[in-house]
Chain A
Amino acid sequence: MRREPPQRLADYGPLFFPAGMLIVFFVVPFATMIAVSVFQREQGGFYTPAFVFDNYARFLSLFFGKVLGFSLFLAIAVAAACVVIGIPFTYLLSRSPRKIQIVWLVALLSILSLSEVMIGFAWSTLFSRTAGITNLFVWLGLMAQAQALTPSFGAVMTAMTYQAFPYTVLVLYPALVRLDPTLTEAARTLGASPVKAFFTVVVPALRNTILATLIMVFIFALGSYLLPQLLGRPQHWTLSVLITDQAIYQSNMPFAAAMAVFLVLVSLALVGLALYAGQQRQAK
């Protein structure tokens, strides 16, 4: 069947629904946020419509720069950790019997049903001195005394990686299942060890999938505001935590909106850079 270009307005019909949804649920809220970000903050009250850059000016300081830097670093670290653990895991999963695959996938999907609050409280209990895993280590004789592992950077990283891991596997899984097994077999026949075949054949074949996974987890992790609060010290609070503080507790919507716009722009820029770098390498 030959595909005809759309002739009449009705031919564009199928596009209306997604376009409408995109406008209602993304364009309008985002435009509102940009508008609010230039409104005049009224201390002790709310805001009045205006066109001022005060909110952006307040953000441009060393303090917020550091917070932004930490947020980006944390998101990148979580994305990297997820991919480093996720690729070997998913590779082995895709090579295991179907029954085992189903059990693992169901278990991973069930993590998605947990809210961030539950994940946060569960990890803070696991990392606590009074009821945490260090008590197990003491019982096993590995440690002399139970100690608290939270609040710490490690605790924040662990919980955020845990939370993002199912998404990582779900994105990687189809690509790895579809990966032609003859590719690795050929490498093995030519004398490569399984590890070498994995790194020289599987990983390069998946480059685009890996990039997509990194970007997805990065953006997912950038929005996290509950886990850094529950499991980290104040220096581990992300920009999202401060945005929440401003919006919910200080009723300073204009400043919160300005920070959010800034965060979106910076993350878009980073994603663009990553895609551009990916294309450059492919072009070579």
Chain B
Amino acid sequence: MRDILNAKLGRRSVLGAGVAGASMLAMPSVLRAQDKSLKVGVYGGFFKDSFDKNIFPDFTKATGIAIESVAEPTGEAWLVQLEQAAKAGAAPADVSMMSQVAMLKGQTTNLWAPLDAAKLPNSKNLIANFVNKYPDGKIAGIGAVSWYITLVTNTQAYKEAPTSWAALWEKANADKLGLLALVSNSFLLEVTAKTFMGGTKALDTDEGILKALEKLSEVKPNVRLWYRDEAQFEQALKSGEIPMGQYYHDVTGLAASQGSPVRSTFPKEGGIQDSGCWALSRASKKTEEAHTFINYMCQPAIQATLSRKVGTSPTVKRDLLDLTAAEFASVSSDIEPIIPRYDLYQTKSDFLNQKWTEMIAG
């Protein structure tokens, strides 16, 4: 879901790996630390780069566990790879950051090794709904970060920021939008329900879903690009080729801070909030190290660093953080978010996917 600018940043991560390799040879202490190591999967590109630079070195310094970061592709693609590998008893990464939809699918097949709460004392810092549990109460995953998908615009094409998701439906925006191509990562059904049908409860029934799809099909003439590849849309948004759409709040903020004419707006109906969990593959043999890592990541100080450096929204309680009001506002919003109907992507995934594909391609 978030292999942001993978193509472009690939070269940079190769250079980074080279530098890291060279510095490892120069520092025997780090080399020794590799006796204990952990492979961690994070979304390739911007995410991985930020973690490699701002988070992992400090972790190794604090615990002596070396981190080998693995660039993982879009949530569910990585899920399929982890699942196939686990069947063969292998783990391409011990701990991975998984988005909610992928997380829940992995839970159905018991892909994630249950985590021991006693070894994760810091997990009590978390907001309760960021802890994923198996039906029997065992912990499947611990919230790593959360992020928002918001309404983004090119500031040169749109002098005024739009205020509502309803902007997607406006006739004036014909052929100007870039939207995510899949039902399970765009969450546009939820957006439609919240904007026009009084809330995501409207999606409880099949009729409600079909009605939302029908309403959503009205945006089709406005959509220039249904994207699977984020780099494609980000580039087009920056250049003004496709001046409006839905995109990640954190990356848009980063692009804006680097001088690109883009802005991210929380519409009055709320941004879409999604989150990533740390989950341990059942094929991994690094259970101890994994617990140390996840526990480390649950510290309020680390979550604050993530917010400042990566632009993600924290998963620990607000009052534990030392973020200023302005810092918090830049990664989150007081407007109540649109929470995706994750349950639907489990119980009705094929129905949703079929109707969705027919809607956009038909």
Contact = CB atoms under 8 A, between A and B. Distances in A.
Interface of A: 41-46, 58, 63, 67, 117, 121, 124, 128-131, 148, 151, 229-230, 234-235, 237, 242, 245-253
A260 B184 CA distance: 23
Given A46-B83, A248-B76, A117 B241 contact: no
Contacts of B79: 251
B74 A249 contact: yes
20 contacts: A43-B349, A44-B104, A45-B109, A58-B354, A63-B362, A121-B7, A121-B232, A128-B241, A131-B239, A148-B224, A151-B225, A229-B229, A230-B232, A237-B361, A245-B353, A245-B357, A249-B77, A249-B184, A252-B350, A252-B353
Nearest to A244: B228
Contact of A129 (B76, B241, B360): B241
Contacts of A44: 104-105, 108, 345-347, 349
Contact of B361 (A58, A151, A235): A235
A63 B108 contact: no
Contacts of A250: 76, 184, 349-350, 353
Contacts of A58: 354
Nearest to B240: A130
Contacts, number: 84
Contacts of B76: 248-251
A43 to B, nearest CB: 5
| Secondary structure type dominating chain B contacts | helix
B182 interface: yes
Interface in B47-78: 74, 76-77
B210 to A, nearest CB: 15
A250 to B, nearest CB: 5
B357 A148 contact: no
B232 A249 contact: no
A244 to B, nearest CB: 9
A45 B182 contact: no
Given A63-B362, A253-B80, 19 more contacts: A43-B348, A44-B104, A44-B105, A44-B346, A45-B109, A128-B236, A230-B229, A234-B360, A235-B362, A245-B353, A245-B357, A246-B353, A248-B74, A248-B77, A250-B349, A250-B353, A251-B80, A251-B105, A252-B350
A253 B81 CA distance: 12
A130 B109 contact: no
Given A247-B80, A249-B77, A130 B239 contact: yes
Contacts of A151: 224-225
A248 B80 contact: yes
Given A131-B239, A242-B357, A249 B108 contact: no
A248 B84 CA distance: 12
Contacts of A124: 232
Contacts of B182: 245, 249
How many interface residues does chain B have, given as a range? Answer: 35 or more
Given A151-B225, A234-B361, A248-B74, A43 B184 contact: no
Interface in B80-117: 80, 83, 104-105, 108-109
Contacts of B228: 229, 249
A60 B133 CA distance: 39
B7 A117 contact: yes
A58 B77 CA distance: 23
B178 to A, nearest CB: 11
Contacts of B241: 128-131, 148
A131 B358 CA distance: 33
Contacts of A237: 361
Contacts of B360: 234
A252 B350 CA distance: 9
B177 to A, nearest CB: 12
In the A-B complex, the 3 residue pairs with the smallest Cβ-Cβ separation, listed nearest first, are A44-B346, A45-B108, A234-B361
A42 B106 CA distance: 12
Contacts of A45: 105, 108-109
Contacts of B236: 128
A234 B7 CA distance: 23
A44 B228 CA distance: 21
B350 A63 contact: no
Contacts of A131: 239, 241
B226 interface: yes
A155 to B, nearest CB: 12
Contacts of A129: 241
A43 B7 CA distance: 32
A234 B105 contact: no
A151 B350 CA distance: 28
Nearest to B353: A250
Nearest to A246: B353
A230 B232 CA distance: 8
Contacts of B358: 63
Contacts of A43: 346-350
Contacts of A128: 236, 239, 241
Nearest to B87: A46
Interface in B326-358: 345-350, 353-354, 357-358
Task: Name, among A46, A151, A253, the residue most crowded by chain B CB atoms within 10 Å (CB to CB).
Answer: A46
B221 to A, nearest CB: 11
